[in-house]
Amino acid sequence: MNRPAKFAVNTLIYIVFAGYLFILYELLIVPAILDWSLYGIFLSLGIVGLLIYALPPAHRRNLSVLGLTFLLMVRALDNISFLEWYLRIPGVLAVFIILGFTGQVLGRIAPTRFLTVFLVALVINLSITLDEVPLWSEFSIKWRSPVLYLQGGTVDYFPLQSADLNDDGMTEIITQGNLNAVKKARENPLDKDKENKLLWNENNEYLVFGWNGRTFDRLENTGYSQKILVSALQKDYINFPYYTTDWSRSEEALKQNLNPLADLDEIVSRTMRFGDTPFYNLALSLESTRMRQESWNRLINGMVQQQEASSAKDVPVSSVNITEPFELSAEITNSELQGTFAGKEFSAATEATAILGAGRLLSGTSAQLAVLGTKLQILDVSPSGEIKLINEITGEQIPDISSAEALLADVDADGTDELMLNTEQARILKLEDTGSWKVLWASTDDTFRFEGFASLGPDQKPHIIALSKSNVRNNRTRFMTGYEYTSQGLQQKWRVFSGMINLTAADFDGDQENELAGSVYKKHLVMVLEKHRLPVVPALYGLTLLLVLAGIGIRLRRPHTRERGGADV
C-alpha cells in the first residue's frame, strides 16, 4: 500500500476510533453510572479495563491517552459552546494547545493523530448538541425548538400541553415563553434596574406550535381556537407564592404575566425573622391565590362577554372530549358540570374546578369522570344522562389531593380503566365494584411521576410513560422511563437519561403514530421525539464484547509481540 493510501486508511481508523469512544461513553458508560451508582462505576471500569487490555501492547498507552484526551476535548468544547464566536476561537485554541501538550507528554501521541481526533471533536461540537445524545438510545429527534424564554429569567420551567386546537386532526404543542424578547435580547439587553434584582414583572405569551408537513411552526393567534386553548390550559402556580399570575388577551396572543408580590429586600427581611416566616409566606400564598383567581375570572368573563355578542356559549374553565372507545364531552362552566354522553345531555352543580379525565373505571355501559376541587370525586354518568357520586378522595385520606394530577387508563389490560394518581406518592388505584379503591401499585419515594399512558412510534401497545429516579442512587434527579404494568409491579421497558420534563405523547404530525414531546429543564426549549426499535444499547454492548474478544484473540495468536509502550501512533 502506498504512503497516501496508508495515511488515508489510518486516518479513517482513528475517526472510527473516536466515534466509537464518543458513543460508548455517552450511551453506555454515563447511563451505567447514573442508573447503578457504584455498581455502574465498577461495570464501567471493567469494560474500560477489558478494552485497554485488548489493545495491542505496543500502542496501549498511546491509544489510552488519545482516547481520554478526545473525551476531554468533547466536554471542553461543549463547555465553551455558549460563548460568542469571537470568544470561542481563543477557547478552541486553548483546548487544542493544552490537551495537545498533555497528550504529547503522557502518551507521545503523533501530531497527525491528535489533529484527527481533535477535528472529530470539533465536528461533534458544531453539529451535535450533547443533551440530545442520551435520547439516541430510544428516540430520533424530529424537532428541536429555539429557546423560548429569555435566559436569566425567574422561571425554571413552563407547563407543556397538547391539544388539537384547530380541528385539523393533528395535535398542537402548547407552552409559554417570551420568544419575542429572546429574539430581541441582543439588541435590548436586560434593563439596568434588573441586574441586581431577583423579582420583576414578566410578560410571557402562550406559544402554540403545529406541524406544517416539514417542521413545526408557531401558529398565529387566528390559527387556532382560543376557547379550546383556555379550556386545555394546565393551572400551574409558577414561582408561587412570591409571584402571582395575571392573564390578558390581545390580538397577538394570550399572555400570562408574572407579577411579584414583594421585592427582594422585603422577602429577605421577613424570612430572616424566623418566627414571622410561616405567617408571611401564608399571607403571600393567600394573596397570590386570590389575585390569580380574580385574573382568571376576568379572562373567562371577558371571553364570555365577547362571545355573547355573537350568541356563543360560555367559555369553560375545564373540559374533556373523548371519541374512543365511547363518545363523551364534558365541561365545567359557571360551577356547573355539563356535557353529552351516548347522545344524552347531562348536567349537575359542582364545586370542582378541573376535569382530570374520563373513562370506564367500572364495567358496564356507564362512563366515569374524575373531577378535582378541594377533593377528588369520581362521578358516574349513565347513558340516560343521570349523574351520581360513587367515590371521593378527601384531604384526610391524601393530604395533598387538592393539587393532584391524574390519568385514567387501562394499565392492567383487564377492560376497565385505573386511576394513575400523581400526589407526593404516586399510585395506581383500581375502583372495585363495591366503590372502594384497591392499590395496584404505589411508589416508594416522592420523586416518581406519571406523565402519560400511550403507545409510541410503531409499537401500538400503550405503556406507562413516567419520570423516575435511578435504580440505585438516592439522588432525586428523574429520568424518562417507559413501564409496563405486571402483577409483580412495573416492569421497565426503556429509559433515557435526559433532563426532559412535562412529557406528552400525541400524534403531532398526522402519521397515525404517537410522538413524544417534552421540555428541556431550565433550557426552555421543546423537543419532539420519535420512538425507534433499534437495539442501540444491546448492539453497543455486543460490539464492545466483540472488540474485546477480537483484541484478546489477536494477542493470543501473537504471544511473542514485545510491548513497546513508547511507540508513536
What would the grid cell of residue 497 be? 437519561
Domain ranges of the chain: 3-138+537-557, 316-442
Helix (H, G, I), strand (E, B) or coil at 152: coil
| Model confidence at 545: pLDDT above 80 | yes
| Model confidence at 443: pLDDT above 50 | yes
Q: What one-character DSSP code corresponds to residue 135?
A: G
| Model confidence at 565: pLDDT above 60 | no
pLDDT tens profile 501-520: 999 999 999 999 999 999 99
What would the grid cell of residue 537 be? 444499547
The rounded Cα 445 to chain-centroid distance in angstroms is: 20
Span of 303-307, 309-313, 448-452 with lowest mean pLDDT: 309-313
Q: What is the pLDDT of residue 567?
A: 43
pLDDT tens profile 117-154: 999 999 999 999 999 999 999 999 999 999 898 765 67
| Model confidence at 456: pLDDT above 90 | yes
Neighbouring C-beta atoms of residue 475, cutoff 10 Å: 11
Fold of the domain spanning 316-442: Lipocalin (2.40.128)
Q: What is the pLDDT of residue 151?
A: 63
Mean pLDDT of 206-211: 94
Q: What is the pLDDT of residue 569?
A: 46
What would the grid cell of residue 100 be? 495537545
Number of helices and strands in the chain (H, E)? 10, 26
| Model confidence at 526: pLDDT above 90 | yes
Cis peptide before 325 (omega within 30 of 0): yes
Residue 170 contacts residue 510 (beta carbons within 8 Å):
yes
> Can you tell me the distance from the alpha carbon of 331 to that of 371, in angstroms, rounded to the nearest whole number?
10
Q: Calculate the alpha carbon distances from 148 to 127, 189, 551 in Å.
A: 21, 16, 49
Q: What one-character DSSP code corresponds to residue 335?
A: T
Q: What one-character DSSP code corresponds to residue 219?
A: P
Give residues with Cβ within 8 angstroms of 117, minimum separation 6. 14, 17, 18, 66, 69, 70, 73
| Model confidence at 100: pLDDT above 60 | yes
Residue 391 contacts residue 398 (beta carbons within 8 Å):
no
Q: What is the pLDDT of residue 3?
A: 82
Whole-prediction pTM value?
0.88
> Can you tell me the distance from the alpha carbon of 92 to that of 85, in angstroms, rounded to the nearest whole number?
10
Q: What is the pLDDT of residue 304?
A: 63
What would the grid cell of residue 379 be? 362521578
The DSSP-derived string for 515-568 is: EEEEEETTTTEEEEEEE----HHHHHHHHHHHHHHHHHHHHHH-TTPPP-TT--
> Mean pLDDT of all residues in the chain?
87
Strand bridging mode 500-506 / 202-211:
unpaired
pLDDT category at 454 given cuts 50, 70, 90 is very high
pLDDT category at 195 given cuts 50, 70, 90 is very low
pLDDT tens profile 372-420: 999 999 999 999 999 999 999 998 999 889 889 999 999 999 999 999 9
> Can you tell me the distance from the alpha carbon of 16 to that of 116, in angstroms, rounded to the nearest whole number?
11
pLDDT tens profile 20-46: 999 999 999 999 999 998 899 999 999
Residue 340 contacts residue 323 (beta carbons within 8 Å):
no
Span of 162-176, 203-217, 290-304 with lowest mean pLDDT: 290-304
Hey, what amino acid is at 186? R
